[in-house]
Structure 1
Amino acid sequence: MALEDRYGLPLSTTSSEAASDYRDGVDLMLAGWTGTAETLERAIAADPDFALAHIARARVHAFYQQGDLARQKAALARELVARRGTDRERSHVETLSLAIEGRLPEAIASTLKHVEAWPRDAVVLSLPLGAFGLFAFSGMADHDRARFELCERVAHHYGEDWWFLTLYGWAMTENGDVARGRGVTERGFDLRRANAHAAHAVLHAMFEDGSIEEADRLVDQWIPTYDRAGILHGHIRWHQALGALEHGDAARALAIYADVLQPSATQAPPLNVVTDSASLLWRLSAYGHDVPQALWVEADAAAQKLFPKSSLSFADVHMALFAAATQNRDALTARLAVIEQRLAEGKLPAGSVVPAICRALAAFADEDYRACVQTLAPALGEVVRIGGSHAQRELIEDTYIVALMRSGEVPRARALLDARLHRRPSLRDTRWQAAMA
């Protein structure tokens, strides 16, 4: 009998051990769980010519910005699947390889074509989904809707599948249907509690509907089951730190930072190391809390090693936070020059909103709040193009609100806050009290 993956798709291996380890490794990867790399390595050891195990391992390397290893594994997978693989497997390997190589437009086109033919290929379907997926980093202004619509098209192929429900519900939440999204995500979470992506997606829904205390309890109850080496461990605690800030509890937010987010303490992938540390420290400072400059200096030094050059716009914006907060004008000027050059060459998918945000952040750090407001105001509607989640991008709107307050335009700031509280009525205003003082 032919060996299959968990979704019933044939696997080109005669090793039942390799197939079993591959199935388990993919489930661990889709759950954001520890042991993924080791399980996939066992599949490779059981059948060194099994292309899908190699490309799955390459994707895990890519998560951790191990680009050379990821590309080497992808190249090997291409060779192997050409010798022994089905049409589906060849398309699978090619699509993941394009994503690993950073060829986003080609990867998106290949993904959509592949999903049309093989909608139950969950590994390929996962590529455009999530806050750091192909859609989010495509520069599209409607990537939230695109994710939701893609999930809608294939939902009937998955039914009550724990992985699909997780990402389907998250897509609903980010697209504005928070109540439905939370319910769908919680169904997936109930089916598999050892699923970090589900816990994360539920926290996003709770962020959007203002269930801050409930989110805090969820993290406290669930996080002991998740190893600190888990790919989302630090980021899930980052969500808890945001909840602390909603109540003006800077001490707790800083304690969480020291425990799992500080570069010397975290085991997160590079992109999370940079974005979670920069955004939390910036929020603390913007809301009027004291942030020891040593924390900024340490985090900036780590970030410069991880992202020394302009790359993803989402990363560039967070690198601008570091440059602004540490008053490193040379670093910001150099990065802005590269960003502007990429924009001029048509190689900046997110467009002109990226340099606008960087300049506004620098103006904010210089306490030129009026310039910050003037620069950000026309760009606010385009911030979505940098990618990430709504919770992550809200930092830009928060910066704008504080800049309004500090430039004397409190009524405009108050109107924005009232609109947010209307959307999330259970939120408190505590975090803004220090900023408005």
Structure 2
Amino acid sequence: MRKDCYGNTITTSSDAARDAYDTGIQLFLSGNYGTVEAFSDAVAADPGFALGHAAFARAQMMAAQMDAAKTSVATAMSLTKGVTAREAAHVAAFDMLLAGKPAQTRRMVEEHVRSYPRDVLAAQMCTNVFGLIGFSGEVGREAALLAYTNALLPHYGEDWWMMSMHALSLCETGQTDASIMLMEKSLAIEPRNANGSHFKAHAQYEAGETAAGRAYLAKWMPDYDDRSVLHSHLSWHQALWALADGDEKALWSVVDSAVAPGGAKGLPINVLTDTAAIYHRADLAGLPVAPERWSALSDYAAQFFPETGQSFADLHAALSHAMAGEGERLAYIAETAKGFAGDLVRPIARAFKAIAHENWPDALDDLTPVMATHERLGGSRAQRDLLELTYVNVLMRLNRIDEAKRTLALRRPELAKSPPLAILQSAA
């Protein structure tokens, strides 16, 4: 029996299939382009390779090829007779994921990795802030993610991928120094790990290292294929740091070429959320955002997220519709938002409507109860600073200056050192 690059037995008689599968694993874990092609080569070399078809489905899913992914996982399920128990459970977890049952999939994966901790493509589904724990909608999901990666870490030794995943968990629970140390260790082993570079950017953001962050990504990004899954999001980090530096030219250059619709080649959820976030944060920082930008983004949100259910996307769609003056689209989210944190999306949507109309008292009323548990919405701390800054801005508009300053200092002290809010800077 052959084994994959993590030492797991795989049921294939083809060395070519195994080699292509291993290549796909490495590309997938490092966030590099070519994953779909590698897993396609694996199943072409051995059409009966169940795990190859499951991995192909996962890669297609991450490339937003959902119909193809469902076909591939169905093929994988049809080939599980005669495979190992691990492989059968692995394929079943992917089948559950593609069936749109994230809570059940999470339970399956958490049980699965107790017996097979190095089954990396299964384990991966619960890592990262965009994984099954990150998008669980639960209070305390950041601590749950840390517990998950902490339990897996001893099984992986000096593995660059696992170290980078645990480093992110550390970062999101406020352990920035430990996160940076572990991330540097990971990147020393595999410097072209885009997940590692991404999580390093998050740690540098949390540490307030704007100059170092800009310099690092300026050097790292030119060799990163713009078709890769994290290219547009890493570009968002570059735009965020350009905004912090007041570099308006660089900000709009990177936004238009690699973040916003028409320039980005990333997943729709990243294009929508990152573009809405950088537009709003630019506006809060005092930079003009052309109405046409919001209008185009509202159209994009309506095209790719016409129904509610993905709370992190719905939050940003609501912002886009509010700023574009698309009242009907916004009302639909405010009235129907469902999904893992739909109960938070609804008041946020109402708050964005109030903000667009400069109705600051109503905005505060809707935002205040959300702030205690907004981690349920998903995303990283850096991404949820959209809400932190919006809330402080509303307080300032109501002339509650001391409360605004105290709120930022207590909740996001790194941002308080140099507030990215024009209204707060003018009141300093």
TM range (shorter): over 0.9
Give the Cα separation in 1 of the matches to 2:257 and 2:23. 30
Written as runs of structure 1 = structure 2, the 5 A alignment for 1:394-405 is 394-405=385-396
Partner of 2:312: 314
Residue in structure 2 matched with residue 245 of structure 1 by the alignment = 243
CA offsets, 1:327-369, max 9 Å, x none? 1110111222222xx4xxxxx3325222111111111111112
Given that 1:287 and 1:435 are in contact with CA atoms closer than 8 Å, whether structure 2 keeps it comes out as no
Give, in whole Å, the separation in 2 of the partners of 1:349 and 1:227.
33
Aligned to 2:422: 433
The 5 A counterparts of 1:133-212 are 133-212=131-210
Deviation at 1:424, TM superposition (A): 6.4
- 1:393 maps to what in 2? 384
Structure 2 Cα separation of the partners of residues 164 and 99 of structure 1: 22
Secondary structure of the 2:3 match is coil
Question: What's the counterpart of residue 39 of structure 1?
Answer: 38
- Structure 1 residues 15-26: aligned runs within 5 Å: 15-26=14-25
2:231 corresponds to = 233
Select which of 304, 326, 329 maps to 2:327.
329
- In the alignment, which residue of structure 2 is the partner of 1:270? 268
Q: Quick check: 1:100 aligned with 2:90?
A: no
Task: Indicate conservation of the 8 Å contact 1:287/1:402, yes or no.
Answer: no
Higher relative contact order (CA 8 A, sep 6+): 1
Aligned to 1:345: none
| Deviation (angstroms), 1:54 | 1.0
Question: In structure 1, what is the Cα distance between the partners aligned to 2:230 and 2:340?
Answer: 26
Which deviations, in whole Å up to 9, do the C-alpha atoms of 1:157-193 show, x marking residues without a partner?
1111011001011111111111101111121111111
For 2:334 and 2:415, the matched residues in 1 are separated by: 35
1:133-169 Cα offsets, whole Å, 9 max, x none, are 0011111111111111111112111111011001011
> In the alignment, is the contact (CA less than 8 A) between 1:359 and 1:375 conserved in 2?
yes
Q: CA deviation at 1:310?
A: 0.9
Instruction: State the alpha-carbon separation in 1 of the partners of residues 263 and 406 from structure 2.
Output: 39
Aligned length: 426
Correspondence for 2:375: 384
**1:70 aligns to 2:60 (yes or no):** no
Q: Is the 8 A contact 1:151 1:168 kept in 2?
A: yes
State how far apart, in whole Å, the 2-side matches of 1:101 and 1:272 are: 22
**1-structure distance, mates of 2:104, 2:411:** 37
Counterparts of 1:330 and 1:433, CA distance in 2: 30
**Aligned-partner Cα distance in 1 for 2:414–2:263:** 35
Q: How far has the Cα of 1:434 moved from its partner?
A: 5.3
Q: Return closer, same or farther for 1:195/1:422 CA change in 2, 3 Å cut-off.
A: same
Which residue among 405, 408, 411 is the counterpart of 2:402? 411
Are the aligned partners of 1:286 and 1:435 in contact in 2 as well (CA < 8 Å)?
Answer: no
Helix, strand or coil at the partner of 1:251: helix
Partner of residue 350, structure 1: 341
* In structure 2, C-alpha distance between the alignment counterparts of 1:251 and 1:433, rounded to whole Å: 18
> 253-262 vs 120-129, which deviates more?
253-262
- The one-letter amino acid of 1:106's match is Q
The amino acid that maps onto 1:61 is: Q
Question: Kindly, what percent of the aligned residue pairs are identical?
Answer: 31
Name the aligned partner's letter for residue 185 of structure 2: R
Equivalent residue of 2:127, what SS? coil
Q: Which moved more, 1:287-296 or 1:28-37?
A: 287-296
Please report the RMSD computed on the Cα atoms of aligned residues, expressed in angstroms.
Answer: 1.5
Equivalent pair of 1:247/1:428 in contact (CA under 8 Å): no
Cα distance in 2 for residues equivalent to 1:248 and 1:110: 47
Deviation at 1:320, TM superposition (A): 0.2
1:48 is aligned to: 47
Structure 1 residues 119 and 209 mapped into 2: Cα distance closer, same or farther (>3 Å)? same
Q: Which residue of 1 aligns with 2:358?
A: 367
What corresponds to 1:282 in structure 2? 280
Counterpart in the other structure of 1:293: 291
Distance (Å, rounded) in 1 between the aligned partners of 2:412 and 2:340: 32
Q: How far apart are the structure 1 equivalents of 2:415 and 2:323?
A: 30
- The residue aligned with 2:2 is 3
What secondary structure is seen at the aligned counterpart in 2 of 1:136?
A: coil
Distance in 2 of aligned mates of 1:334 and 1:155 = 43
- Name the CA distance, whole Å, in 2 between partners of 1:100 and 1:251: 41
Aligned-partner Cα distance in 2 for 1:232–1:99: 21
- What is residue 57 of structure 2 aligned with on the other side? 58
Cα pair 1:360 1:375 within 8 Å, conserved? yes
Q: Is residue 29 from structure 1 mapped to residue 33 from structure 2 by the alignment?
A: no
Gaps of 5+ in 2: none
Partner AA of 1:295 in structure 2: R
